[in-house]
Amino acid sequence: MITVPDLVVAVGPALFEIVVAGHGDDEVRDVFLADPQESATGQPGDLVLGFGLGSPEEAVELLERCAAGRASGIILRTALAQDPAVVAQAEKRQLTLVALQPTVTWAHVVWLLRGVIDRAAAPDSPAAGDAGVHQELFALADAAAAIVDAPVTIEDNQSRVLAYSSLHDVSDTDPTRVSTIVGRRVPAEVIAHFRARGIFRRLARSSEPFLVPDGPNGIRPRLVVPVRAGGEWLGSIWAVVDGPVSAEVTTELSNAASVLALHLLRLRAQADVARRSAIDRLRTVLRQFSPDNPLDVRLPSPPWRVVALGSPAAYDVPQELDLWESTGRRHGWSEPQLADLDGIVLAVVSDGDGPGSWRWLRKLVTDLAKEFPGTTAAAGGRARGPADLPSSRAEAVELLGLVRRELAPGPALRVEQAWHILTVHRAVTSLDTTKLDGPLATLLRHDIEHDTAFVDTLQAWLNYPGQPQQAAKQLHLHTNTLRHRMKRIGEIAKLDLANPRERLALQLQIAAVRTEH
C-alpha cells in the first residue's frame, strides 16, 4: 500500500509539498486528472490532480467534490494550494492537500506518479518498475548524443552510470568513458581528478552547462550539464567533445536535462517505494509468521539469524536504518535485509560466510565499534524456516538490551555465547523485588539501618565458592575480615550455604535487586 505522504517523500521536495496532512493513511490506487468543466473526480482512492483551475473558488469546489468522492488527496499548483480559503476547506474536510511546483507539466506529473504507483502495486515486477524508465534513459542519452554529435553518458549524483549513448563507436571516445561504461561507474582516479578540479562542487551548485578541459591519461574535454529539479542536484549529462560547443547546443542539452530530471525523480521514487515495500514485508514476517501467508521476502537459503543492531545514541530509528543499509552496501552486502520493528533495527543474515552472513556482520560491527562506540549487534538463534524468525528476533532484541546495559559482552554477540546470561536474566526479571522474603530481606534491612555491606559480602562469597581469598580481593578486604563478616551474617540471618538450592535462590534474589538498581 502507498499513501499520499509516501508519494511525496519518495519523489522529494523538488516537486511536491504537503500543505494539509489530512487523514494521511488512505491508500492511493491511481491518479485522476480532473477537468474543471467536468463533474467527475475519479474513483475512491484516486489522487486527484487539479488541472486547469483558474481561481481559488474553483479549487474549493473541486476539493469539496474530492472529499465527497473519497479521494485520497488532491494536488494543486502552489499558488492555489496555499490560498487561505483552499487550505481552510482542506482542513475542514480532512483531505490531504499537496502543492505542485509551477515549472512541471501535468503530463509529466501523471507519468511520474503512475510509474511510482505501479511500482508499489507490483514491487517485484520489472515491467511495472525500473526497466521501462531505464530504457527511456538510454533513449535520452541517444537523443543528447544526436544534439551534441558526441558520445554521452548519464550519471546520478554519486557518479554511477545510468545510461550511455550507442550512436558512436569506441574510436569516438577515450579510455575513461570505456572504463566508466564497463564498470558502471566513473573510475576512482577519474573522480579524484574531477574533484580536484572543483567539478563536483560546481555541479552541486550550478544549473548551467560548462566545459571541462582535457586531462591526464587521454581524458578528452567534456561538456557537463547538471540535472536539477526544484534546486536539487540529481545527476548530470557528460558529453565527450573536442572543445567548446555552440549556445544553441547547450540550450538544447539543458532542455534535455529538464526531461531527464523527471526520469531521475521517477527512478528514485520507485526505488524508495520498493525499499519501503520490502521493509514492510520483512517487518510483517519478523513480527509474526502465518502459514496462511507465503514468505514474500527475498532471503538467502536458510538457516538464518535475526540480528538486532545498535548505533551511537545520536541517531533516530530511520537514520539508523539508512545508516546500516548504506554501511552494508558499502561493504559488499548487495541486498541488505533490514527492517525496523518496535524502535529497533533488525537484519536477517545467513548462517554461512560472505557478505550478508553473521560472521561477516560480526567482523564489520567489531571493526566499526572501534571508531564508533555504541555500535552493537546481537544475534538470535538459528531460524531453519520462516516460522522460526519471530523467536530469533525476540532473542536478538533481548540480547541487545543486555549488551547495551553491559550485562553481556559486546560489541557483537550471538545467543549461543550468552545462554547462561540470558537464563539468569529471565529468571531474575521474573522475581518481584517488592515481595522479597527469607535471609536476603533481613540482610537488606540490616544494611539500610546500620550502614553495613553484608549483602555485598554475601554476593562475593557466593560468586567465589570455596575461594575466600578471591572474594576478599573483590571486596578489598583481608581474608580474616571476610570470614568475620560471614560469621556475623550467619548470626543475623538464618543461612544454610551448604544447600545448593538456597545458594542459587540467594544469587537470583541478589541479582534481581542489583538489576533493579
Q: For residue 493, what is the domain's CATH number?
A: 1.10.10.2840
Q: Quick check: helix, strand or coil at residue 489?
A: helix
Q: State how far the Cα of 303 lies from the Cα of 300, in Å rounded to an integer.
A: 9
**Amino acid 516: pLDDT:** 61
**Amino acid 213: pLDDT:** 87
Question: Could you tell me if residue 95 is left (phi over 0), alpha (psi between -120 and 50 degrees) or otherwise beta?
Answer: beta
Same domain, 106 and 140: no
Residues 162, 141: contact at Cβ < 8 Å? no
Same domain, 400 and 464: no
Instruction: Give which of 403, 405, 397, 428 is closest to 418, Cα–Cα.
Output: 403
In a domain, 253, yes or no: yes
Beta pairing partners, 16 = 100
**Amino acid 126: pLDDT:** 41
All 3 cell numbers of residue 180? 566508466
pLDDT in tens, 183-204: 666 777 788 888 888 888 898 8
Same domain, 226 and 311: no
Same domain, 113 and 136: no
Instruction: Give which of 232, 234, 215, 235 is closest to 224, Cα–Cα.
Output: 235
DSSP conformation letters of 283-309: HHHHH---TTS---S---SSPEEEEEE
**Amino acid 435: pLDDT:** 78
Give Rg (Cα) of the chain: 32
In a domain, 246, yes or no: yes
**Amino acid 342: pLDDT:** 92
CB contact set of 305 (below 8 Å; sequence gap of 6+): 348, 349, 350, 351, 358, 379, 380, 381, 382, 383, 392, 396, 414
Say which residue the cell 563536483 belongs to: 200
CA angle 284, 290, 296 (to 5 degrees): 55
- Strands of the sheet containing 73-77, edge to edge, are 16-20, 96-100, 73-77, 46-50, 30-34
In a domain, 293, yes or no: no
Same domain, 106 and 134: no
Strands 46-50 and 30-34: parallel
Same domain, 117 and 41: yes
Low-confidence ranges of the chain (pLDDT < 50): 125-129, 170-171
In a domain, 282, yes or no: no
SS (H, E, C) 182-237: HHCECCHHHHHHHHHCCHHHHHHHCCCCEEECCCCCCCCCEEEEEEEECCEEEEEE
Query: Which of 121, 138, 163 is the endpoint of a domain?
Result: 121
- Angle between helical axes of 84-93 and 56-68 (0-180°, round to 10): 10
In a domain, 275, yes or no: no
Q: Supply the CATH number for residue 421's domain.
A: 3.30.70
pLDDT in tens, 149-188: 888 889 888 888 888 887 655 445 667 767 666 566 677 7
Q: Supply the CATH number for residue 22's domain.
A: 3.40.1390.20
Work out the end-to-end distance of the chain between its first and last CA atoms, rounded to an integer number of angstroms: 45
DSSP conformation letters of 132-170: HHHHHHHHHHHHHHHHHTS-EEEEETTSBEEEE--SS-G
In a domain, 276, yes or no: no
Q: Supply the CATH number for residue 242's domain.
A: 3.30.450.40
In a domain, 286, yes or no: no
Beta pairing partners, 224 = 210, 238
Same domain, 205 and 324: no
Q: State how far the Cα of 402 lies from the Cα of 395, in Å rounded to an integer.
A: 11
All 3 cell numbers of residue 309? 543492531
Residue 198's domain spans which residues?
130-265
Q: How many residues does the chain have?
A: 517
Strands 152-156 and 161-164: antiparallel
In a domain, 473, yes or no: yes
Q: Which amino acid is at 348?
A: V
Residues 99, 256: contact at Cβ < 8 Å? no
Cα 138–chain centre separation? 29
pLDDT in tens, 108-121: 788 778 777 776 66
**Amino acid 319: pLDDT:** 85
Query: Which of 211, 236, 265 is the endpoint of a domain?
Result: 265
Residues 154, 137: contact at Cβ < 8 Å? yes
Total domains, the chain? 4
Helix, strand and coil content of the chain, in percent to the nearest 5, comes to 50, 15, 30
Same domain, 231 and 308: no
